[in-house]
Amino acid sequence: MRLAGKKIILGVCGSIAAYKAALIVRGLIKAGAEVRVLMTPSATNFIAPLTLATLSRADVVTSVHSGESWNNHVELGLWADAYLIAPATATTLAKLAHGICDSALVAVYLSARCPVFFAPAMDLDMWQHPTTVENVRRLQSFGNRLIDVGEGELASGLVGAGRLAEPEQILDTLAAFFAQAHDLKDRRILLTAGPTLEDLDPVRFLGNRSTGRMGIALAEAAAARGAKVTLLLGPTHLSTQAAGIETIAVRSALDMYHAAVERWPDCTDGILCAAVADYRPERVAEEKIKKQAGPMRIDLVRNPDIAEELGRTKTAGQYLIGFALETENGLENARDKLLRKQLDLIVLNSPRTAGAAFGHATNQIQLIDRNKVTSFELKPKLAVAHDILDRLVADKPTL
């Protein structure tokens, strides 16, 4: 199992499913992991801290302040390779989603730099309530990973969704994550993200609504999986400090084109996520353009096509992914772009889909190659990024 030697924090909340925490701890220890357990005060009503301390072979933390000692939540958050919260109650989900720091469990969450997994457990109506749905979405938008609830008979006697995932499934999810963590090792990925701005004069420009969020999510996901990433990032308020990412700021489509062409020969893979302007003003005025009577005319010239150039020059060992944002005839236009620009895969999305594309923390995509179309539901952009990278690994498992 891929958990040997891993440092895992287990956060336990006040749910009837808390008894399964003993099985989770035992499974982690058996797999060779080192475990520290945090409990909310209400969790101690369902399972004794002594039980989990005995199984984990370490003291259980139930408070930031215990007697005359202080449990260093920052130090613990830095110690772990992963933080698992199971079971996660509706109350704790709300606190995590909004930073309400009233327990050691939440304090460590806010300090943790490791991946965070949460496995909810609650009654059917609580799980389906819009408040819970929004809190789960919000947590996922922060990059936290949901281990989805199971279905069956619940403590209330109702039958439906809300059961804590089985301990074996939870352990398998963690093991799969650590197995995935190095599947892009030795890859050098060129990634474009964000908008480009095409200057009209010293104060005005032509642009688009891209924030770069999808591309940054891809860069961070790829780096987390072991890749060295060169991120060509257009003007945006977003940024990333993740290790393994070299960020190169660009402004215009020409800037991005030249940077991409220069770096492409040294890369194994390319993911072209940026919303690059197709046209730029033929002439950039040296002074601010003054308002005049009547209509204004701006002559535009076509920008060079980054995807087309990289597709034309890619070698047999390189894999190239493009994006297609379409408002109509999406599949037809995406397939045409895939073939015309010699891409290996294209990601189709639409601004007409609620919660997708520009300005959202979520996206809904289809992956299209020469043989098939794979569709996905609406997901947080980090989860979408991993879906795309999973396909890259499946199509090109080794260099």
Residues 230 and 157 in one domain: no
Residues 59 and 200 in one domain: no
341 assigned ligand-binding residue: yes
Residues 46 and 169 in one domain: yes
Q: How far apart are CA 221 and CA 216, in angstroms?
A: 8
Residues 173 and 55 in one domain: yes
What's the pLDDT at 65?
64
Q: How far apart are CA 287 and CA 19, in angstroms?
A: 71
Domain that holds residue 374: 188-278+294-395
| DSSP conformational letter for 166 | P
Residues 36 and 85 in one domain: yes
Residues 175 and 83 in one domain: yes
The answer as to whether 144 is a domain residue is yes
Over residues 162-179, the pLDDT tens digits come to 999 999 999 999 998 887
**Confidence (pTM):** 0.73
The answer as to whether 1 is a domain residue is no
Q: How far apart are CA 147 and CA 139, in angstroms?
A: 12
Residues 259 and 110 in one domain: no
CATH code: domain of residue 357: 3.40.50.10300
Q: End of a domain among 134, 164, 180?
A: 180
Please identify every stretch of the chain with a pLDDT value under 70, giving residue numbers as ranges.
1, 65-72
Q: End of a domain among 130, 162, 180?
A: 180
Q: End of a domain among 145, 180, 215?
A: 180
What's the pLDDT at 71?
57
What's the pLDDT at 205?
96
What's the pLDDT at 158?
83
The neighbouring-strand residues paired with 85 are: 11, 118
Residues 153 and 236 in one domain: no
What's the pLDDT at 314?
97
Q: How far apart are CA 60 and CA 49, in angstroms?
A: 6
Residues 121 and 232 in one domain: no
Q: Are 34 and 61 in contact (CB under 8 A)?
A: no
CATH code: domain of residue 32: 3.40.50.1950
358 assigned ligand-binding residue: no
Q: How far apart are CA 80 and CA 74, in angstroms?
A: 11
The answer as to whether 214 is a domain residue is yes
Q: How far apart are CA 45 and CA 37, in angstroms?
A: 15
DSSP 3-state assignment of 340? Answer: helix
The answer as to whether 43 is a domain residue is yes
Q: How far apart are CA 242 and CA 194, in angstroms?
A: 17
Residues 96 and 133 in one domain: yes
323 assigned ligand-binding residue: yes
Q: Which two tokens stand for residue 220?
A: 């961070």
The answer as to whether 308 is a domain residue is yes
Residues 127 and 202 in one domain: no
The answer as to whether 288 is a domain residue is no
Q: Which two tokens stand for residue 77?
A: 């958050």
The answer as to whether 286 is a domain residue is no
Share of the chain residues as helix, strand and coil, in percent rounded to the nearest 5: 35, 25, 40
The answer as to whether 112 is a domain residue is yes
What's the pLDDT at 382?
85
Tally of domains in the chain: 2
- Among all residues, which ones are annotated catalytic? 208
Q: What are phi and psi of 185, to 5 degrees?
A: -60, 140
Residues 156 and 242 in one domain: no
Q: Are 180 and 225 in contact (CB under 8 A)?
A: yes
